Amino acid sequence: MTDFNANYQMTLGGKLVPGDRTFAAYNPATREEIARVPDASRAQLDDAVAAARRAFRSWRDSTQEVRAAALNAIADAIEDHAEAFMTLLTKEQGKPRAGAEWEIMGSVYWLREMSANSLPAEVVLDTPDRRVVTHYTPLGVVGAIVPWNFPILLAVWKIAPALAAGNSIVVKPSPFTPLCTLKLGELCNEVLPAGVFSVVTGGDDLGKWMTAHPGIDKIAFTGHTETGKHVMASAAATLKRITLELGGNDPAIVLPDIDPRKIAPQLFWAAFQNNAQFCNATKRLYVHEDIYDEVLKALVDFTRTQKVGNGADADVALGPIQNAPQYEKVIDYFEDCRRNGYRFAIGGEIDPSAKGWFIPVTLVDNPPDDSRIVAEEPFGPILPVLKWRDEEDVIRRANDTPYGLGASVWGQDLDAVERIGSRLEAGTVWINEIHQYAPDQAFGGHKQSGIGCENSLHGLMEYTNWKTITLNKDVGFGRGRVGKVA
């Protein structure tokens, strides 16, 4: 019986292993220590990688049916413990119940859907004298490095395709949200062969050891753009495959034909879902000048109806900032706005004596385009609302960023929203909706928001090598094919 409240150990080569040292996990709504977490040593990472390499030898030869069954078994294990996962997720991450449910049940759904995916060999040529077939073969050992905003879902987005493609995997959760992932490892240990799936916990150094480790063949990373650059540089030494899912500064463009009252809740959640600690949160809201004042007022009114607090309380819509460094970082954006005299339409007052790392939802009224709050990714509940007049100009402003993760356009004129949406530089552009993801929908960033993608068959391919096998059936070797193109 898995105890979700105690005994947090790493899953390493089929065994539950404590750390030689430990570090603390905190509840962000109370700032209280809630658990001690194993701090993996370099030797323990070596053990996990060695076990993963051993397990890979047989896992790569397993059938598609066996791998699909494994993914479904993980889904069942999460579903059987869904209540415990949701409670622990709220406790360690801070997100209220609705968000925890979305993440945990979403993980179950993703695993089941992805279990049905496969990459059959492609027959390129099949004639009486020659056959050419391209196979998708697994890479080896995958190192998955995960952030703290969606600890389980973003781990599953890596675990499912890695295992489905025949790789073994070593998962490192964020040091700020390790607990649910440790329990996931414990449960998976009961349904997977030893070493196929390991969980190691530790700080950023553990991530660096993974990206440099010669026994790891691919890094699947989600996190900051700056960290992604370090990952890429470190992985270059052994030419690891990489998938990088990085930061964003997503624009939303609102056309003048929208009803401000109707759109306000949509725009609010576009920006503040998961307490704005969301790669795809709307981080710049461009509203046409004809309805700017009304939309801002509707947003202010809606904000007043949403309670910020401990996610464990039933009436709370937005939880705390997840960790102390992030809290300090978000506060710095408030101070920068104040120093520069930008107006807060609502919010702005932070109570440093609050029990948890709480920050009120804040709207900044039309700050300049070159302000930090517009140009950077605050990753907290402070949103710049900006005026626009000219379509060409707002498209330019929306694209004027090194990021290119997501974007959205809102309006009744479907020709106009599609025209604008098609010109936005982002991996996903939502029109009159937002944050719709699917297991068969490729998700990734343009520009400095990432390399490669997750989900869909394109995402699955990133866990494979292409291996083309050509067969000359003319064993008399009489036709001298060497060097010929066809």
Q: Does 376 bind ligand NAD (CB under 6 A)?
A: no
Site map 107..146 versus ligand NAD, x via CB under 6 A:
--------------------------------------xx
273 residue type, one letter: Q
Number of residues in the chain: 486
Q: Does 149 bind ligand NAD (CB under 6 A)?
A: yes
User: What residues have CB less than 8 Å from 448, skipping those under 6 apart?
Assistant: 225, 246, 247, 402, 403, 404
427 in Cβ contact with 406 (< 8 Å) = yes
Beta strands in 279-432 (DSSP E): 282-288, 343-346, 362-365, 382-388, 406-410, 428-431
Cα 223 to Cα 31, 67, 149, 315, 344, distances in angstroms: 23, 28, 9, 30, 29
Q: Which residue has the tokens 């026994």?
A: 215
Is position 279 annotated as part of the catalytic site? yes
Q: Does 245 bind ligand NAD (CB under 6 A)?
A: yes
Q: Does 97 bind ligand NAD (CB under 6 A)?
A: no
Q: Which residue has the tokens 């579903």?
A: 79
Identified catalytic residue from 180, 188, 279, 337: 279
Q: Does 459 bind ligand NAD (CB under 6 A)?
A: no
Residue number, nearest CB to ligand NAD: 207
CA triple 124-125-126, angle to 5 deg: 135
Q: Are strands 21-27 and 382-388 parallel, antiparallel or unpaired?
A: unpaired
Nearer to ligand NAD, 27 or 323 (CB): 323
Task: Tell which one of 445, 456, 460, 463 touches ligand NAD (CB under 6 A).
Answer: 445
Nearer to ligand NAD, 136 or 379 (CB): 379
Cα 88 to Cα 25, 79, 103, 179, 285, distances in angstroms: 12, 14, 12, 8, 33
What is d(CA 267, CA 260) in angstroms, rounded to the nearest whole number? 10
Q: Find how far residue 367's CA is from the centre of its chain.
A: 29
Q: Does 260 bind ligand NAD (CB under 6 A)?
A: no
408 in Cβ contact with 250 (< 8 Å) = yes
Nearer to ligand NAD, 13 or 248 (CB): 248
Structure tokens at 246: 């990085």
Q: Which residue has the tokens 């993608």?
A: 453
| Shortest distance in whole angstroms from residue 204 CB to ligand NAD | 4
What is d(CA 346, CA 364) in angstroms, rounded to the nearest whole number? 8
Is position 337 annotated as part of the catalytic site? no
User: What residues have CB less than 8 Å from 32, skipping those under 6 apart?
Assistant: 26
Nearer to ligand NAD, 217 or 377 (CB): 377
| Shortest distance in whole angstroms from residue 145 CB to ligand NAD | 5
Considering only residues 41 through 60, tell me which ones interact with ligand NAD, judged by CB under 6 A.
none
Q: Which residue has the tokens 């790392």?
A: 357
Task: Tell which one of 85, 110, 148, 268 touches ligand NAD (CB under 6 A).
Answer: 148
Question: Is the alpha carbon torsion for 322, 326, 330, 331 positive or negative?
Answer: positive
| Shortest distance in whole angstroms from residue 278 CB to ligand NAD | 7
Nearer to ligand NAD, 165 or 330 (CB): 330
Nearer to ligand NAD, 305 or 436 (CB): 436
| Shortest distance in whole angstroms from residue 90 CB to ligand NAD | 18
Structure tokens at 267: 């725009």
Question: Is the alpha carbon torsion for 199, 120, 450, 379 positive or negative?
Answer: negative
| Shortest distance in whole angstroms from residue 280 CB to ligand NAD | 7
Q: Does 447 bind ligand NAD (CB under 6 A)?
A: no
Site map 180..219 versus ligand NAD, x via CB under 6 A:
------------------------x--xx--x--------
| Shortest distance in whole angstroms from residue 247 CB to ligand NAD | 3
Identified catalytic residue from 92, 103, 186, 245: 245
Choose among 73, 99, 66, 70: nearest CA to 85. Answer: 99
Q: Does 230 bind ligand NAD (CB under 6 A)?
A: yes
Q: Which residue has the tokens 């890094």?
A: 219
Q: Does 450 bind ligand NAD (CB under 6 A)?
A: yes
| Shortest distance in whole angstroms from residue 123 CB to ligand NAD | 34
Q: Which stretch binds ligand NAD (CB under 6 A): 2-10, 235-243, 245-253, 304-312?
A: 245-253
Considering only residues 389 through 428, tell me which ones interact with ligand NAD, judged by CB under 6 A.
405
Coil/strand/helix, residue 261: helix
Total of chain residues touching ligand NAD, rule CB under 6 A = 29
Task: Tell which one of 140, 151, 248, 367 touches ligand NAD (CB under 6 A).
Answer: 248
| Shortest distance in whole angstroms from residue 132 CB to ligand NAD | 36
Choose among 147, 154, 149: nearest CA to 174. Answer: 147
Q: Give the residue numbers annotated as catalytic, written as ranges.
A: 245, 279
Q: Rule CB under 6 A: which residues touch ligand NAD?
A: 145-149, 154, 172, 174-175, 204, 207-208, 211, 222-224, 227, 230-231, 245-248, 279, 377, 379, 405, 445, 450
